[in-house]
Chains A and B, each alone.
Chain A
Amino acid sequence: MNPTVQTLLITLVILFTLLNFAGVLIWVERRVLALLQDRLGPNRAGPFGLFIIVADIIKIFTKEDWVPPFADRKLFILAPAIILFTVLLSFTVVPFAPGIVVLDLNVGLLFFLGLSSMGIYSTVLAGWASNSKYALIGGLRMSAQMFSYEVFMGLSLMGVVILAGSLNLTQIVEVQRGMWFIIPQFLGFLIFMIAGLAETHRMPFDLPEAESELVAGFHSEYSSMKFGMFFVGEYIGLTLISAMIVTLFFGGWLGPAWLPAPICFFLKTFAFILFFILLRAALPRPRYDQLLSWGWKYLLPLALINLIVTGAIVLMTGNPQPN
């Protein structure tokens, strides 16, 4: 097949799968949360309440799409587009299976980090452009939170980079054939997971939208599909973080031989998504200053120690992977 056509095909399949998957996740999350809280959750429309997805989509598209007159119109419209754009673009470097990757970039990991830091602008601008105090507080919290957690999100991954000797995600997966990086890089995994959760601003790190204090935080003024884009962006972001954890620490598509690679990747990713939903049900939201001091006082030093120790061990044993 023509390589261009093939890439285009892969891109379309990934886009189609992701956007639908985000829809399904809405149902999954509501059902699993209900299960964990001893409720039933949506169970009326269709089998297992699955048609709630369709109902939700119809509802969200037919609501009035309102831009408040006091808002900064251009940025107000731009903000929800940024989050979807950056999150979807991040998936271009994720290797789903050998050969099934849109962009096999040699600095793929940095590409992911760069895009995740660009995603901040979405929430921050939404908060500012709404020109309302709750949204502004949400945006301010977001910028401080993301800025802090991004620092050691990058640092926690450097151990993986040292062990793999590459920033290319496909190579990082290939190197894990002998042993998944979860074993030598357990600390890095924990830090990356916490930082990733903070970057997707999900419970328990959803301080920018903390509904009990800030109405809905940065998206208080949003309605209809503009709100929907934040919503879908959050679910795709959750999928992205899970996919990155699987790629970097759990051997990506590697698995038992009888299981096709993409399915193996999907199962692992889905396990992490379920875990994150469980976290949402189980953990309370920390106070804002606690969140920040936690990051700077504990996670950052731990990430640095992880980096130094990994570097020292690789130097001592003298077997960095061939580049």
Chain B
Amino acid sequence: MNWMFYIVAAITLIATVRVITHPNVVYALLYFVVSLLSVALIFYMIGAPFVAALEVIIYAGAILVLFLFVIMMLNFREEHETHWLRKRIWAGPGVLCAALLAVTIAFIAQGPMVSGFYRTIEPSEVGNALFGPYLIAVQLAALLLLSGLVGSSHLRRHERGSLLRKPEGGDSQ
């Protein structure tokens, strides 16, 4: 069990680093997919199959496809990225990550691992938690998403009125 975790964790880390460093943005996105999939596997291993499935469906399956869609439309080429990725820009994020790593190591060193609490969480338990004690958080998130939706719809409407008027009487549904 443990060695499996370390393999998956290593894959996650390598993939995530490649997301940041790969000069070709489509490849970077694919590494991101790999990273998300391995995170899903970690979730599955610590007994949360439901979260693992959602991670694949929502993040790897839906959101990143949307990213890919945009990238394909904009048609990025490698020159930009190699130009942007100079050595100097690594200093800030590097220091922050090192600090994070130090804290994590200290945290692991002082306490026992969670493995003692290992138990598989059923999907219905997740549902009960979300719509029970955490109902307000769910509602707030829904409100946030709705406002995003209304906002983008509003922007689109404004543009449509001035630029892309449909021909008279030719509404095709």
Are A323 and B61 within 8 A (Cβ)? no
Interface string of A92-118 (1 = CB under 8 A from B): 000000000000011100110111011
What is the total number of residues of chain A having a CB less than 8 Å from a CB of chain B?
34
- Which residues of A148-193 are within 8 A (CB) of B? 150-151, 154, 165, 167
Chain B residue numbers with a CB within 8 Å of A128 are 26, 68, 72
In the complex, residue of chain B having the shortest beta-carbon distance to the beta carbon of A117: B61
When the two chains form their complex, are residues B49 and A136 in contact, meaning their CB atoms are under 8 A apart? no
Closest B residue by C-beta to A114: B56
CA distance A113 to B27 in the complex (A): 24
Interface size on B, residues (CB 8 A): 26
Chain A, 45-64, CB within 8 A of any chain B CB: none
Q: How far is the CA of A266 from the CA of B52 in the complex (A)?
A: 31
> Which residues of B, 30-59, contact A by the 8 Å Cβ criterion?
30, 33, 49-50, 52-54, 56-57
A127 on interface, CB distance cutoff 8 Å: yes
| Residue ID in chain A nearest B52 by CB atoms | A107
CA–CA, A151 and B57, complex, Å: 10
A146 at the interface (CB under 8 A from B): yes
B60 touches A124 (CB 8 A): no
Check B173 for interface membership: any CB of A closer than 8 A. Answer: yes
Check: B122 CB closer than 8 A to any chain A CB: yes
Expressed in whole angstroms, the Cα–Cα distance for A122 and B30 within the complex equals 12
By the criterion CB–CB under 8 Å, are B65 and A146 in contact?
Answer: yes
A22 at the interface (CB under 8 A from B): no
How far is A127 from B120 in the complex, measured between Cα atoms in Å? 40
A120–B57 CB distance below 8 A: no
Given contacts A106-B122, A121-B33, contact A140 B54 (CB under 8 A): no
At the interface, yes or no: B123 with Cβ under 8 Å from chain A? yes
Query: Hey, which chain B residues are within 8 Å of A165, CB to CB?
Result: 124
- Other-chain contact of B65, A107, A117, A154 (Cβ < 8 Å): A117
Q: Determine if A223 is an interface residue (Cβ-Cβ < 8 Å).
A: no
Q: What are some 14 contacts across the A-B interface (CB < 8 A)?
A: A105-B49, A107-B50, A113-B61, A117-B61, A117-B62, A121-B65, A121-B68, A124-B69, A139-B72, A144-B69, A150-B62, A151-B62, A165-B124, A323-B124
Spell out B's residues near A (CB within 8 Å). Answer: 26-27, 30, 33, 49-50, 52-54, 56-57, 60-62, 65-66, 68-69, 72-73, 120, 122-124, 172-173
B-binding residues in A (CB < 8 A)? 72, 75, 105-107, 110-111, 113-115, 117-118, 120-121, 124-125, 127-128, 136, 139-140, 143-144, 146-147, 150-151, 154, 165, 167, 287, 290, 293, 323
Q: Which 7 A-B pairs have the closest CB atoms?
A: A117-B61, A110-B53, A114-B56, A143-B69, A114-B57, A107-B49, A107-B53
